Chain A
Amino acid sequence: MIDKFRETFREEAEELLSQLEDVLLELETRPDDVELINAAFRAVHTIKGSAGMFGFEKAGRFTHDLENLLDACRSGLRAVDSRVIDLSLRARDKIRAMLAEADSSAPFDEEAQALMAEFRAAVEDGSQLSPPPGSGKAGSVKAGSVKAGSGTVGATSLSAGSGHGSSGADTGRTATMQPEATQTGADKPGFKAGTDETYRIVFEPAPEIFMNGTKVLKLIEELAELGTLSVVPAVEAIPPMDLLDPERCYVSWNAVLTTSSGINAIRDVFIFVEGASRVVIEHLDIPDEDGGRQKRVGEMLLERGLVRPEDLGEALKSQKRLGEVLLENKLLKPSDLESVLAEQAHIKHAQEHQHDTGAMSVRVASVKLDQLVDLVGEMVTLQARLTSSTSTLGDTTLSGIAEQLERLVSQLRDNAMSVRMLPIGSTFNKFRRVVRDLSSELGKDVELLTEGAETELDKTVIERLNDPLVHIIRNSLDHGVESPDDRRAAGKPPKGTVCLKASHSGAHVVIQVSDDGKGLDMDAIRRKATERGLIAPGEILSDADAGLLIFRAGFSTAVSVTSVSGRGVGMDVVKREIDSLGGTVSVETSAGVGSTISLQIPLTLAIIEGLLVRIADEHFVLPLSSVEACIELPDDAGQTSNGSRLLSYRGDLLPYVELRDAFAIQGTVPGFRQVVVVNSQEHKIGFVVDAVIGDYQTVIKPLGRMFKDVSGISGATILGDGTVALIIDFNRLAHSARAAQARSA
């Protein structure tokens, strides 16, 4: 393994071998001395254990057989006789010779092979008195106490005791490196490595598991790393605080794991805790979506023996949901129910995934998908109406149905949305061509790297990202990456790189375009912005804010106007398009090192989680993912002398927008009002509303081309009562508010 320790090992082994020689010679005169036998065994054992690690595999394998023989003697299964002593001494010399050999990969010579055969024979022979062929001496014999038959027993128990040692001896070093390759009953015939299989795992740690340094949660994390994991902890056994012993583990876990790593990988996770802790790993059959039927909760509970059949029958008679009835009557532990439900959901998901990755796929015209999503959107809307109507009617049967329908509709929605998700990689490929053509046009040498091509986004979002990304990449090539000569002069490789990277971040996808060019010239940008009146003279801007200036209309710092991007046309288009997608743009740059432009885009444009608010009798929606808090409008909020509106929020002054003014809404202003605090492009801003109504599944409807120039509104949605509410373009409003503040400052 590590050559630098090879010599150290050889010296150690040398020492051990001379000790072994002394011990063996003494043993010849005192064959009953247990200590001597142990010492001999230890020396051999140490050599065997380490030899393989320092490039003496051959010596290691050879020593293994000698060790077996000495082990048999040590455990009294074989008498220490002259044959053992003789063999051991010869073996010792052989090992010494092997350690001196330069090449450990050469096959065993005849002598070694003969010795190894004799070790094995000597173990098998057990107590047999007959001297080995070729051995002239028949020294002292100590076989009388061991019966002839026990030799076989000894051999059997030896191999059993050594566990996977038997295979290790045959295949040498490699076998011990890998987990057991034993096929188990759980692995079905036809199981192929690399295909996804689903397992149910029950892990009940021994209560004292912490006492040996095991980190239990780490095991669960390890499981999660193997694939898709659904895990439910059973916490019922946790005693009340005063009885709780913090050094004991009271929690057990039920998990369902879909993994391509195979059952042995799961076993490996629990390798150190098996035995003391209960670990059950069962293979689960995932029926085909079309072929098999999803098991019902009742069925699964019975199968696992969690409820008695008669209790189940009784519970099924009730009109309510099975789980609720069983829980109410204390016939089932909450965690058991949760675990069964989690397993059901997991299997369902695995089924869908099976379908995803299966050979079967269908091409569908994208317009049909759009229609599907539209229809689902209408259903979500109608569902909201149904829910609000049933709650006023107060009919429990109807409410129950409405609830079930709601669950179905939300699943349907998720499904429909997922069908529209596409990997962004297809777009990435188009940019290779852009980079190739443009770099030759500009006389630059630029390579495009991509990362996260598999990141999925709603297809309409992907389509609309195309133009902005082309602009950004063009800009990077034109203004960022230097010419090969300039790069050489700056001590950089002549070939520049532009990296296009996509990744998920919550309900958003972050797309980054970075180059290793010269970075943005912040001073030039500030100077230019001042010249153009975009910022007031002397106005202090952070680098991040100054970077954003390149997205302002009519801004360009290129010394020469090029046909590519020097006219300052383009980057403002990027900003506008990303805004309209509900996304944000940010810039990071480091002089001489490069720049990164990051776009944060919502995953989908079709349905979002919204926060419904009201001003007078008009309803509006804010995207919930951007909402940080809802607070009461404090009394001290108000206009400062320079006209900007500020309120105190968590010890800071927070700018806020009076939506009533921004949207010219009539009506009396109520005494108590609320402020929705929103994160907008790394700034916080408050929006004053009359009341916050709550979460709302918002199916986004475009306002259409007649509202092209409307600012402050990004779309519409249909509420439960069929009326239309508008979605607030908070980024735009926040931006105007900041601009107004900057002007008056």
Chain B
Amino acid sequence: MAEAISGRYLTFVLADELFAVPVGRVEVVLEMQRVTRVPNALPFIRGVTNHRGSVIPVVDPLLRLEGVPVDLEADPAIIVLQLDFSGEALSIGMLADGVREVMDLEQSMIEAPPRLGGRMDSRFIQGIGKTPGGFVVILDLDAAFAATSDGVAS
């Protein structure tokens, strides 16, 4: 598992908790738009959507981490991200209840994820950032979503 390093992060909210992903991975943040369900897809994939003429998968991080779906009726945002899929770049859309800000995190502010306990699946967490405003969970995007089966990333 890759260790979280210092740098700029985009923070967003999922079920009242603050999460972060490296800004370098973010292409754009979209307002909620129609997501088309794909029958028989992996459970954490909510469907596909149109992004600049391409069809990209839309993943649900809350479903992946806690087994609870993001409410699509509540107009979540879609953060378009670059994923490393076995060495190939892949664009995906990730649902988020709301997008907050871009912040800098120093290495010293980042702690390793807790081994056990908590509601979240720690396999998909890269680290915990401690900021004056509180904790922020840094997602391990590739581990969480670059999967072809229900297990951990390929």
The answer on direct contact between A and B (beta carbons under 8 Å) is yes
Which positions in A face B, CB cutoff 8 Å? 374, 377-378, 381, 618-619, 662-665, 701-713, 716-718, 722-726
Minimum CB distance partner of B47 in chain A: A724
Q: A701 contacts B55, CB within 8 Å? A: yes
Residue B34 lies at the interface, judged by CB distance under 8 Å to chain A: yes
Residues from chain B with Cβ under 8 Å of A701 in the complex = 54-55
Chain A residues lying within 8 Å of B56, measured Cβ to Cβ, are 704
Chain A residue nearest to B49 in the complex (CB): A724
Q: A704-B90, A705-B90 are in contact. Are A716 and B41 (CB under 8 A)?
A: no
**CA distance in complex: A377, B50 (Å):** 13
Q: How far is the CB of A384 from chain B (nearest CB, A)?
A: 12
Q: Judge whether B33 and A707 touch: CB under 8 Å.
A: no
Q: Which residues of B contact A (CB under 8 A)?
A: 33-34, 36-42, 45, 47-50, 52-57, 85, 88, 90, 92, 145, 147-149
The answer to whether A718 and B39 have CB atoms under 8 Å apart is no
**Are A722 and B34 interface neighbours, CB within 8 A?**
yes
Q: Are B53 and A724 in contact, with the CB atoms below 8 A?
A: no
CB–CB A724/B50 < 8 A: yes
Could you tell me if A724 and B39 are in contact, using CB atoms closer than 8 angstroms? Answer: no
Pairs across A and B, CB under 8 Å, 23 listed: A374-B53, A377-B53, A378-B53, A663-B40, A664-B39, A704-B55, A706-B42, A706-B90, A706-B145, A706-B147, A707-B38, A707-B41, A708-B148, A709-B148, A710-B39, A712-B40, A716-B48, A717-B55, A722-B50, A724-B36, A724-B49, A724-B55, A726-B39
**Cα–Cα distance between A665 and B37 once the two chains are bound (Å):** 9
Neighbouring B residues of A707 by C-beta, 8 Å: 38, 41, 45, 57
Give the docked Cα–Cα distance between A2 and B34 (Å): 80
Nearest CB to that of A375 among chain B residues? B53
Neighbour of A705 across the interface among B33, B40, B85, CB < 8 A: B85
State whether A710 touches B40 (Cβ < 8 A). yes
In the bound complex, do residue B57 and residue A722 qualify as a contact, i.e. CB atoms below 8 Å apart? no
C-alpha spacing A717/B88, complex, angstroms: 23
- The residue that A718 contacts in the complex, of B37, B53, B148, with Cβ under 8 A, is B53
Q: Are A704 and B57 in contact (CB under 8 A)?
A: yes
Q: How far is the CB of A149 from chain B (nearest CB, A)?
A: 87
A-B CB proximity, top 5 nearest: A378-B53, A663-B39, A701-B55, A724-B36, A723-B34
Q: Do B34 and A712 touch across chains, with their CB atoms under 8 A apart?
A: no
Evaluate contact between B39 and A716: CB separation under 8 angstroms: no
List of A residues within 8 angstroms of B37 by Cβ: 618
Q: How long is the Cα–Cα vector from A377 to B149 in the complex, in angstroms?
A: 30
Known: A701-B55, A724-B55. A712 touches B148 (CB 8 A): no
Q: Give every chain A residue within 8 A of B54 (Cβ-Cβ).
A: 701
CB distance from B146 to the nearest CB of A (A): 8
With A378-B53, A724-B34 already in contact, 5 other A-B pairs whose C-beta atoms are closer than 8 Å: A381-B53, A710-B39, A723-B33, A724-B48, A724-B50
Q: What residues on A are CB-neighbors of B39 within 8 Å?
A: 662-665, 710, 712-713, 726
**B-side contacts of A724, CB under 8 Å:** 34, 36, 47-50, 55
Report the bound CA distance from A377 to B145 in whole Å.
Answer: 28
Q: Which residues of B contact A723 (CB under 8 A)?
A: 33-34, 36, 50
Among residues of B, the one whose C-beta sits closest to the C-beta of A724 is B36
Closest-CB distance, B30 to chain A (whole angstroms)? 12
| Dominant secondary structure at the A interface | mixed
Flag if A703 contacts B50 (CB, 8 Å): no
Query: Least Cβ distance of B36 to chain A in Å?
Result: 4
Residue from B40, B50, B148, B149 within 8 A of A711 (CB atoms): B40
Per the bound structure, the CA–CA distance linking A374 and B52 in Å amounts to 11
Q: In the complex, which residue of chain B has the Cβ closest to the Cβ of A380?
A: B53
Q: Contact check, B45 vs A709: say whether CB atoms are below 8 A apart.
A: no
Within the assembled complex, what's the spacing in Å between the Cα atoms of A300 and B37?
Answer: 54
Residue from A377, A378, A710, A722 in contact with B38 in the complex, judged by beta carbons closer than 8 Å: A710
Nearest Cβ distance between residue B49 and chain A, in whole angstroms?
6
Task: Give CA–CA (A710, B38) in the complex, Å.
Answer: 8
Contacts of B88 in A (CB 8 A): 705
Nearest chain A CB to B55's CB is how many angstroms away? 4
B35 to chain A, nearest CB (A): 8
CB-defined contacts of A662 to chain B, threshold 8 Å: 39
Q: For residue B36, which residues in chain A have a CB less than 8 angstroms away from its CB?
A: 618-619, 716, 723-726
Please give, as numbers and ranges, the residues of chain B lying within 8 Å of A710 by CB-CB distance: 38-41
Provide the bound-state CA to CA distance between A659 and B137, in Å: 41
Residues on the A chain within 8 Å of B38, using CB: 703, 707, 710, 713, 726
Complex Cα gap A618–B54 (Å): 19
Q: Which residues on the A side are within 8 Å of B55 (C-beta)? A: 701-704, 716-718, 724
A708 to B57, CA, bound (A): 12
A722 to B40, CA, bound (A): 23
Task: Give the interface centre of A662, A725, A726 by most chain B CB atoms within 10 Å.
Answer: A726
For residue B64, give the distance in angstroms from its CB to the closest CB of chain A.
13
Residues of B within 8 A of A374 (CB): 53
A374–B48 Cα distance when bound, in Å, is 18
Alpha-carbon distance between A709 and B56 when the two chains are bound, in angstroms: 16
User: Which residues of the other chain, B, contact A717 by a CB distance below 8 angstroms?
Assistant: 55
| Whole-angstrom distance between the Cβ of A720 and the nearest chain B Cβ | 11
Q: Which chain A residues border B149 with CB–CB below 8 Å?
A: 709
Contacts of B45 in A (CB 8 A): 706-707
CA distance A377 to B41 in the complex (A): 25
CB neighbours (8 Å) of B50 from chain A are 718, 722-724
Chain A nearest Cβ from B82, distance in angstroms: 13
* CA A701 to CA B36, docked complex, whole Å: 14
Complex-state Cα separation, A458 to B50, whole angstroms = 25
Instruction: Write the nearest CB–CB distance from A315 to chain B, whole angstroms.
Output: 40
Chain A proximity of B134: nearest CB distance (Å): 32
A723 to B53, CA, bound (A): 10
Q: How far is the CB of B7 from chain A (nearest CB, A)?
A: 26
The residues of B that contact A712 with a CB separation of less than 8 Å are 39-40
What chain B residues lie within 8 Å of A713 (beta carbons)?
38-40
Residue of B nearest to A700 (CB): B55
A711 partner residues in chain B, CB cutoff 8 A: 40
User: How far is B46's CA from A584's CA once the two chains are assembled, in angstroms?
Assistant: 31
Nearest chain B residue, comparing its CB with the CB of A716: B55
Instruction: Please determine whether A706 and B57 come into contact, CB atoms closer than 8 angstroms.
Output: yes
**Chain B positions within 8 Å of A725 at CB level:** 36
A726 to B39, CA, bound (A): 10
Distance in Å: Cβ of A342 to nearest Cβ of chain B: 35
- A664 vs B38: C-alpha distance when bound (angstroms): 10
How many Å lie between the Cα of A649 and that of B38 in the bound state? 30
Q: In chain A, what residue has the closest Cβ to B48? A: A724
Tell me which of B50, B145, B147 has the highest count of chain A C-beta atoms within 10 A of its own C-beta: B50
Query: Complex: how many Å from CA A713 to CA B39?
Result: 8
